[in-house]
Structure 1
Amino acid sequence: MQLSGQRSTAPHRGVPSLRVALVAPPYFEVPPSGYGGVEAVVADLADSLVAQGHHVTLLGAGHSTSRAEFVPLWPEPVPQRLGEPAPEMVHAAAARKALLRLADAGELDVVHDHTLAGPLNAAVLRQRGIPTVVTVHGPVDVDMHRYYRDLGADVGLVGISHRQRELAPDLNWLGVVHNALRPQDWPFRAEKGDYALFLGRFHPQKAPHLALDAAHAAGVPLVLAGKCSEPIEQEYFDREVRPRLRSSDRLVGVADAVTKRELLSGARCLLFPIQWEEPFGMVMIEAMACGTPVVALRGGAVPEVVTDGVTGLVCDHPDQLPAALAAVTQLNPHACRASVVERFSADRMAEGYVAAYRRAIAEHTGKAEYTGKVAGHLPTPAAGTALAEVG
C-alpha cells in the first residue's frame, strides 16, 4: 500500500494537527552540509510538516536550520563514529528521556524514528499511549528482519519502496512512503555538460568500478564524488577504483551541498550501477530534480524510481551501460524534473507520513479514525486520495 494523505486539507480547515517527534541519527546535522541522505529527508519532512500546520519536535545532534523545534541530544554530530554501537545506544537513551518528557507533558501524539536503536524505546512509549512509526531506511537483511519482527506491534514500519517491503512481507508494515525532496532547492539545467557522474559511497554495492568501465568504453569523461572513509570503502577503492582511473576521469571526493548541485545539474547523466537491493536511492531523484537522467542497473527500487525511457535508462547487465551512456542524451530534462515534482516532492512525502501517523494512532487507540486535540474529524477521502491506496 502506498500511503498518501489528503492533498487538499489542512489543520485549520477542521482536520486536527498532530504533535510529532522526529528522531534523527546522531552522525550528521539536519539538514546535512554534505553527506547524509537520511538527515536530508528528515529535514525536508520536518519543514513540510510544519508548513502543513503540525507541531514538530526534532531530536538530533549539533545544530539545525529546520523549521521544527530542535532538541540537540549531542553538542556536535559524530560522523567519525558511524558504524560503532555505542553512539546508537547513547542516542537512544537520550531520545528516550526527551520523548518521555514530551509524553508526560501531554505534548506528543506520535514518534517517528529514523534511527537504528531508537525503536527499542517504542514499548515504554506505547505504555504512555504514544505509538512509534519507524522508517526502514536500509535493507531488511537477516539481522534487521529479526529485529523488526521481534519489535512486533510496538512499532509500525514504513518502507521507502515497494520492493523493500516485498522482500519482507511478514513484518508490521503501515505502508510505503517514497523518499522525497524540495524540488525548489535543486537547480534545473536543460543544457548539459559532456560528462557522466558517479555520486555515492565508494563501496562494492555501489560499484563505481562499473561506472568507470562503462564511461571508458563509451568514451565519456567521468566525475566521481563520494565518501571513502570506512575500511571497506578504502580497501575497495585501492583494489578496484584506483587502478582504473584515467586522465579523462576526475575524482572529487565528498561533495558538499553546493558542489553536489553543480555536478548533478551539469552532468549528461547520473551513473548508478548498483550491485545490491537498493532500498531507494536518494541520489536518483536529486539528479532528476536537476533535469539529469539516470543510467542504472536494475536492482532494488531502481525500476520504481526511474521511468525507463523517460527519466533514465535501466539496464540489465553492465555490458549495456556504454550504449545507454550514448542514448541517454536523447531524454528530455524537463520530463526528469516533472517526475520529481509529481512523484517525489517533500509535501507529498509529508502527506504520506501524516497518513501513517494517523493510522498508527488509530490502531493504537482502537478507533476508526483519529481526531486529536482539535475538534473535528478526518473528512471522507475523495477518489484516489485514500489514506492507504494500492501503489
Structure 2
Amino acid sequence: MKKLSIPAKRKKLTIVQVISNYPKAQPVPSIKGGTEKIVYELTEELVRRGHRVFLFAALGSRSKAKLITYPKGLRHENLARYVLNKLPDSTDIIHDHTFRSALGVTNPKIPTVCTVHIPVKRRVKYPVYVSKRARQKMGNNRGTCVYNGINTNEYEFSAVKHSYLLFIGRIIRNKGILQAIEVAKKTGKTLIIAGPVKAPQFFQREVKPLIQKNPHIHYIGPVGGKVKQRLIKHAECVLFPILWDEPFGLVMVESMACGTPVLAFRRGAVPEVLSGFPNLICDNVREMALKVREKKYPSPNVLRKYVLQRFTNKKMTDNYLKIYHDVIQRESIAGLMR
C-alpha cells in the first residue's frame, strides 16, 4: 500500500476573509457593526503576522490587507460567484463571515471556514461559533468555538467612575431596554441610553414615554469613537439585560476593557463571557437593581486584566490560525485519499 505523505504545516498562509451582512452592508471597520469590527481586528492581526491576506468587503472599507470591494448592486445570491471568480492565486483558505455563509454553503474546492456571527442555522462543513452556547443551540455541538477578541490598546481605561448607568446598543425589545429603564427607576440612578433606534414603533410607543416621564433618563442616540469611549470608561456600570440568546455580546468585553463592570441577564453567552465574575450575572430586574444599589463590583484593574487574558485580538487570531491549519491539513489528506 502506498504510504500517505501528510502535508507539513505552512508558516505563512494566503487567507481570504469575506464579510457582507447583505442587504445592509457596512464598511470594515464600522462603528455600527460588531461583526465588521471583529473581522477588521482579525484581518489586521493576520497581516501583522506576515500572512498574505485578502479582504472582500463593502465599499468604504479600509485595511492593511489587499482590499477587494464589492461593486454597487451586488446581490447576495451572486456574492459567492463574485468572490470565487476573483480569488487570488494559491489561496490556502477562505474565511466566510457573511451572515448567510454565502461561500460555505456552496462547498467550494478551496478549504472554507464559516464563522456564524448571528443566530442562524447553516449546514456548512467547517462552522465556527462565537460561544459554546451558540455552538450548542445553532450547531447541535458541531464545529468549533472561538470567542471574539478586541484590540485593547484602542480602549481607554479609567478607574474614575461617574454616578450614571449606561445602556449601549440597538434600541429593540430583545436588548432589554425596558428592563434597563426599570432598573434605573427602582434605584433612582441616572441612566444614559446610547444606540440606534432599530424598532421605531416600539421606541415611540413604549420607550420614549418612559424617558419623558423620568428626568434621570437620557437618550443620546447612536455613538462611536471617542464619545463612546468616554461614556463607557466613566460609567458606574453598564446594563446588559438581554431577553434573547445573544451569541456573544461584544459590549460586555468593551466595557470591562475600559474598567467598567457589566450587569447582565443569564442569557446566551453571558455566563461564558462573565464566567470570572458570576456575581455580575442576574436573573431578573429586581436582582439587577439590588446589585446596582450594593455596588459590589470588581475593581477596574481586575476587569481590564480579565479581558487581556481572555478576549484579545491576538488570542482570537491564535485560535483561528489553529483552525486554519487543521482544516487545510484535513482537506489535503482527504485529497490524497481520493
Q: Distance in 1 between matches of 2:114 and 2:40?
A: 16
| Alpha-carbon distance, 1:110 to partner | 0.7
Q: Distance in 1 between matches of 2:299 and 2:313?
A: 23
The yes-or-no answer on 1:46 pairing with 2:43 is yes
In the TM superposition, 1:120-269 aligns within 5 A as 120=103, 123=106, 125-126=108-109, 130-139=110-119, 144-145=120-121, 148-149=122-123, 151=124, 153=125, 156-170=126-140, 172-173=142-143, 175-229=144-198, 233-245=199-211, 246-269=214-237
| Alpha-carbon distance, 1:319 to partner | 1.2
The yes-or-no answer on 1:335 pairing with 2:302 is yes
Q: In structure 1, give the amino acid aligned to 2:59.
A: G
TM-score, normalised by the number of residues in structure 1: 0.77
Seq. identity, %: 34
Q: Distance in 2 between matches of 1:49 and 1:96?
A: 25
Partner of 2:5: none
| Counterpart selection for 2:66 from 44, 64, 69 | 69
Partner of 1:97: 82
Partner of 1:28: 26
| Alpha-carbon distance, 1:291 to partner | 0.4
Does the CA contact (< 8 Å) of 2:104 and 2:114 recur in 1? no
The yes-or-no answer on 1:115 pairing with 2:115 is no
The yes-or-no answer on 1:350 pairing with 2:317 is yes
Instruction: Give the structure, 1 or 2, with the largest relative contact order (CA under 8 Å, sep 6 or more).
Output: 1
Q: 1:136 to 1:217 in 2, by over 3 A?
A: same
Does the CA contact (< 8 Å) of 2:79 and 2:102 recur in 1? no
Q: In structure 2, give the amino acid aligned to 1:253.
A: G
Partner of 1:304: 272
Q: Distance in 2 between matches of 1:119 and 1:361?
A: 20
In the TM superposition, 1:73-88 aligns within 5 A as 73-74=70-71
Q: Distance in 2 between matches of 1:161 and 1:189?
A: 28
* Runs of at least 5 residues in structure 2 that lack an aligned partner in the other structure: 1-8
Q: 1:353 to 1:70 in 2, by over 3 A?
A: same
* Runs of at least 5 residues in structure 1 that lack an aligned partner in the other structure: 1-13, 76-86, 369-391
Moved over 4 A (4+): none
Q: Distance in 2 between matches of 1:22 and 1:92?
A: 18
Q: 1:197 to 1:303 in 2, by over 3 A?
A: same
| Alpha-carbon distance, 1:367 to partner | 6.4
| Alpha-carbon distance, 1:222 to partner | 0.3
Does the CA contact (< 8 Å) of 2:99 and 2:117 recur in 1? no
Q: In structure 2, give the amino acid aligned to 1:47.
A: E
| Alpha-carbon distance, 1:345 to partner | 0.4
1:58-110 deviation line (CA, Å, top 9, x unaligned): 111122332211111146xxxxxxxxxxx7x714524532333325x32x111
TM-score, normalised by the number of residues in structure 2: 0.89
- The alignment partner of 2:37 has SS state of helix
Does the CA contact (< 8 Å) of 2:261 and 2:297 recur in 1? no
1:297-335 deviation line (CA, Å, top 9, x unaligned): 11110010014647x611111211111112335420011
Does the CA contact (< 8 Å) of 1:100 and 1:125 recur in 2? no
Does the CA contact (< 8 Å) of 1:119 and 1:132 recur in 2? no
